[in-house]
Amino acid sequence: MSSIIQLLPDHVANQIAAGEVVQRPASVVKELLENAVDAKATDIKLIIKDAGKSLVQVIDNGVGMTVTDARLCFARHATSKIRQAEDLFSLGTKGFRGEALASIAAIAHMEMKTKQDQDELGTHIIIEGSKFISQEVAVLPKGTSFAVKNLFFNIPARRNFLKSDTVEFRHVMDEFQRVALAHPNIHFSFYHNGSEMYNLPAAGYRQRIVGIMSGKTNEKLVPVNEETDIISIQGFVCKPEFAKKNRGEQFFFVNDRFIKSSYLHHAVMSAYDGLLKDGSQPSYFLYLQVPPNTIDINIHPTKTEIKFDDEQALYAILRASIKHSLGQFNVAPVLDFDRDANLDTPYHYKDVEAEIPTIQVDGTFNPFTDDKTNQHYSKAASGSSGYSSSSSSSSSSSSSSGSSYSGSSYSGYSKRVEPTASWESLYVGLDVENPESIESSPFTFENEEVTSSLFDDEEVEQATQKTYQIHKKYIVSPIKSGMIIVDQQRAHQRILYEQFLLNMTVNQAASQQLLFPLDLFYSASEMKLIEELKPSLETTGFVFDESKTDHIVISGIPVNITESEVSQVIEQLLSDLQDGIPANSYSQNDTIAKSMAKSLAVKTGSYLTEKEQDNLVNGLFACKDPNISPFQKPTFITMRVEDIDKKFAL
């Protein structure tokens, strides 16, 4: 019997390996950019066409390769990064497996140009599907250039599984941002279909973050710095008021390598405990430096997940450092129960000298004299009439000496009491002894006689029956057969969804013009998505004045949206369309209507007045499909009287 186990040909083995390494154009971008960084390049240029499906080219000014290395780099498991197995536990480079270039060359048309600084001529190699087409010398600048064309040309099934250009471009953008953020000391530039997307000169961490995200990011950042024996933390977290709905701006870098860690993310979220709204995600850019022998990065094909030796210690240090930074920069509230706010000096009194009060003393006052003399002084000081001329002269002499009295007690300030008018004049003409002689009030009062009711008592009781809100979540309304319980959030979502869909498909929605246009800043990938959504958003009532590279200007909004809700609506829309915009217009309108209904619907926990409850119930049953929400969840349930009776049956 013949053997049934055989060695696979190299081109088949390379295609199988490519399934792990190359999943989409973004995978090629990641491998080539990391190779350029390992080549000690100071200037890296990324050029793509059709979101990387037609061309991915990376040009660097690194050390380059010799003729032998240029040919050998396409062999499987050939690498310059490690020499023995122990090197896997002390890695200081990006790639190390030696299968990236071989896998890419197996599924694409690949062209490489490389030259070292000391050489006069470089090497030019062309490979198509793992087959060497040509290798020749050429006059080239220092560095290396890789051009990958027609990705998955020999695997049509894999090519058909690629998403739209918008989705693939977003993945390419993510990989470029991760590498560029990890190495701010390198100049990066990025071009897509001939248009410049990024031009990032070498700078510090803060400048690189601002250059990639947007111009308004600088005011959102709170620095984080912590040095310990087991970890060094640098970077920035964003203020809680700038939290977003999605997790697009969350970056962990360990030894200049982007990673994903739900455990460390939980540490960041716990540091923000009590500062974020429900469903909000903070943005952060954190750079961790740990000894290479304390981590294992060889546990995932894409090397985005690593294993730490002491995760609990890293969790505690990261949480404490972020919490300290938020409190240090007055972002987090600080409670000090021993401090008395009444003792704080007002700002306008801080530099003012205290004035010494002046005290006037009456040297003629004698507390041991009899009461009549003191009363004499008191009445003389108050200016009362009915005293002799000698008393008046005594009073004038006393006042000339600067003394004054109020009653029988001494006062240090001069005070003149004016004589009041005679109160007896108020009662002139009244016969006090005969109170009945006082004329009665000329006012007359209407007779409050209760008339008969227009309706019977039973009808009045039914007319005053209203809806009731339970736990700020459900609305109960009586019906003939029993009662209905309405979920207020789902019901409002159904109402808004049908309104938006009607405006987008049938009617042109009305728009309210803003007195001051809104400037909203977004990243490059988000701006590209907004540009594609503009026509559909305009049918809902949005009016766009202009769009620039990093922000949009909105001069009009739909009538049922407030100015403060615009940013929330667009962020929710970008979050819902992360996986791409639907191809046909109906699906696109449906997605936008659902996203806007989710953002603007009244939330669970919101108090509704009786009128709002009635409008919500009436609006729900005026919909075409009131039974379910736009997300296929029931909006209300019905309880019959018979069902309630069964609950009370013994």
SS3 556: strand
- In 3D space, the residue among 268, 199, 266 whose CA is nearest the CA of residue 240 turns out to be 268
Q: What is the pLDDT of residue 346?
A: 58
Cα separation, 105 vs 129, whole angstroms: 6
Measured over the CA atoms of residue 182, residue 186, residue 187 and residue 189, the dihedral's sign is negative
- In 3D space, the residue among 450, 353, 451, 369 whose CA is nearest the CA of residue 405 turns out to be 369
Q: What is the pLDDT of residue 92?
A: 57
Say if CB 31 and CB 146 are below 8 A apart.
Answer: no
Say if CB 309 and CB 295 are below 8 A apart.
Answer: yes
Which of residues 433 and 462 earns the better pLDDT score?
433
Binned at pLDDT 50, 70 and 90, residue 580 comes out as: low
Q: Dihedrals φ, ψ of 236, to 5°?
A: -145, 150
Count the alpha carbons within 13 Å of 134 in the hemisphere toward its beta carbon: 7
Interval 37-58: pLDDT, tens: 988 999 999 999 999 999 999 9
Cα separation, 567 vs 560, whole angstroms: 14
Interval 202-238: pLDDT, tens: 999 999 999 888 767 888 899 999 998 889 999 999 9
Mean pLDDT of 564-588: 77
- Expressed in percent and rounded to 5, the helix, strand and coil fractions of the chain are 40, 20, 40
Cα separation, 473 vs 603, whole angstroms: 8
Q: What is the mean pLDDT of the chain?
A: 78
Of 280-289, 346-355, 439-448, the least confident: 439-448
Tokens 């009062």 found at: 445
Angle at 630 between CA 627 and CA 632, to 5 degrees: 65
Cα separation, 637 vs 490, whole angstroms: 12
* Residue 331: DSSP 8-state: -
Q: What is the pLDDT of residue 363?
A: 76
Asked if residue 160 has pLDDT above 90, the reply is no
Q: What is the pLDDT of residue 372?
A: 55
Asked if residue 292 has pLDDT above 70, the reply is yes
Mean pLDDT of 291-297: 79
Binned at pLDDT 50, 70 and 90, residue 146 comes out as: very high
H or E stretch covering 637: strand 636-640
Neighbours of 418 (CB within 10 A): 7
Alpha helices in 329-482 (DSSP H): 371-382, 389-400, 457-463
Say if CB 629 and CB 490 are below 8 A apart.
Answer: yes
Say if CB 502 and CB 495 are below 8 A apart.
Answer: no
Q: What is the pLDDT of residue 153?
A: 87
Asked if residue 275 has pLDDT above 80, the reply is yes
Interval 599-645: pLDDT, tens: 889 988 889 988 888 899 999 999 999 999 999 999 999 999 998 88
Token pair of 412 as six digits: 């240090």
Asked if residue 113 has pLDDT above 70, the reply is yes
Interval 328-337: pLDDT, tens: 876 655 555 5
Binned at pLDDT 50, 70 and 90, residue 455 comes out as: very low
Count the alpha carbons within 13 Å of 32 in the hemisphere toward its beta carbon: 31
Of 273-282, 372-381, 408-417, the least confident: 408-417
Say if CB 267 and CB 302 are below 8 A apart.
Answer: no
What's the start-to-end Cα distance of the chain, in Å? 79
Asked if residue 135 has pLDDT above 70, the reply is yes
SS3 98: coil
Asked if residue 543 has pLDDT above 80, the reply is yes
Say if CB 29 and CB 48 are below 8 A apart.
Answer: yes
Mean pLDDT of 317-346: 70
DSSP string computed for 191-249: EETTEEEEEE-S--HHHHHHHHS-GGGGGGEEEEEEE-SS-EEEEEEE-GGG-BSS-TT
Which of residues 289 and 214 earns the better pLDDT score?
289
Which of residues 112 and 545 earns the better pLDDT score?
112
- In 3D space, the residue among 288, 300, 228, 281 whose CA is nearest the CA of residue 264 turns out to be 288
Binned at pLDDT 50, 70 and 90, residue 342 comes out as: low
Alpha helices in 259-388 (DSSP H): 262-271, 311-328, 371-382
Token pair of 370 as six digits: 């009899």
Say if CB 597 and CB 504 are below 8 A apart.
Answer: no
Q: What is the pLDDT of residue 390?
A: 41
Q: Dihedrals φ, ψ of 469, to 5°?
A: -105, 130
Token pair of 311 as six digits: 């995760």
Binned at pLDDT 50, 70 and 90, residue 386 comes out as: very low
Binned at pLDDT 50, 70 and 90, residue 2 comes out as: low
* Residue 309: DSSP 8-state: S
Single-letter amino acid code for the residue at 401: S
pLDDT above 90 covers a percentage of the chain that reads: 26
Asked if residue 145 has pLDDT above 70, the reply is yes
Binned at pLDDT 50, 70 and 90, residue 403 comes out as: very low
Neighbours of 623 (CB within 10 A): 15
Mean pLDDT of 297-316: 77
Say if CB 629 and CB 493 are below 8 A apart.
Answer: yes
SS3 track for 506-534: CCCCCEEEEEEEEEEECCHHHHHHHHHHH
Question: What number of H helices and E strands is found in the chain?
Answer: 18, 24
Asked if residue 649 has pLDDT above 90, the reply is no
Tokens 């003389």 found at: 380
Residue 478 CA, chain-centre distance (Å), reads: 41
Interval 171-203: pLDDT, tens: 899 999 999 999 999 999 999 998 888 899 999
**Residue 284 pairs with which residues in a beta bridge?**
237, 250
SS3 117: coil
Single-letter amino acid code for the residue at 22: V
Alpha helices in 383-508 (DSSP H): 389-400, 457-463, 488-505
Cα separation, 332 vs 319, whole angstroms: 14
Asked if residue 66 has pLDDT above 70, the reply is yes
SS3 397: helix
Q: What is the pLDDT of residue 287?
A: 94
Count the alpha carbons within 13 Å of 631 in the hemisphere toward its beta carbon: 13
Q: What is the pLDDT of residue 579?
A: 62
Binned at pLDDT 50, 70 and 90, residue 157 comes out as: confident
Token pair of 217 as six digits: 């990011």
Residue 139 CA, chain-centre distance (Å), reads: 51
Residue count of the chain, please give it.
Answer: 650
